[in-house]
Amino acid sequence: MKKTDAGYPDALAATVRILRAWAAEGPPATPKTYTDLSSALRERNFRDVPPHGGIMPHLLEDASLWENEDRRRPMLSVLVTSKELGMPSIGFFELAARPPFSRPLRGAELWERERDAVHAEFARPGRT
């Protein structure tokens, strides 16, 4: 799949629904991974989304931009982590540091604060 494919908007909408559902559940005992997201998309018939590379970084960036025009809301992509790192990969931190997000924090502090903000935002009734 590519961003220009006709199915990309549907894959993006599915990604947002999955991430919002994960956020509403609260912090999991084991963080969700890129493989978990790829599998969840595959269960929804989006079979062209490998866990690493390919379209995954685009879906995660666009999911963070979804209904977030002023970029003040937390970044949904914070919920997807690397198995090896136990936190998001470098792509998340690069996205957070540059416009339009320009988050002032870095590293684990950024990840923890953004993750907690996502769970708080979507734990509210009617936010999923």
Give tens-digit pLDDT for 3-56.
988 999 999 999 999 999 999 998 887 889 999 999 999 999 999 898 988 999
Which candidate, 58, 54, 64, places its Cα nearest to that of 117? 64
Amino acid 71: pLDDT: 78
DSSP H or E segment with residue 115: helix 107-123
Confidence band (pLDDT; 50, 70, 90) for 124? low
Domains of the chain, by residue range, sit at 8-123
Cα separation, 10 vs 6, whole angstroms: 8
pLDDT, the chain, mean: 91
Output b/e per residue, 69-91; b: 16+ Cβ within 10 A: eeeebbbbbbbbbbeeeebbbee
The H-assigned helical ranges of 31-81 are 34-43, 56-65
pLDDT in tens, 86-116: 899 999 999 999 888 999 888 999 999 999 9
Is the model's pTM score more than 0.95? no
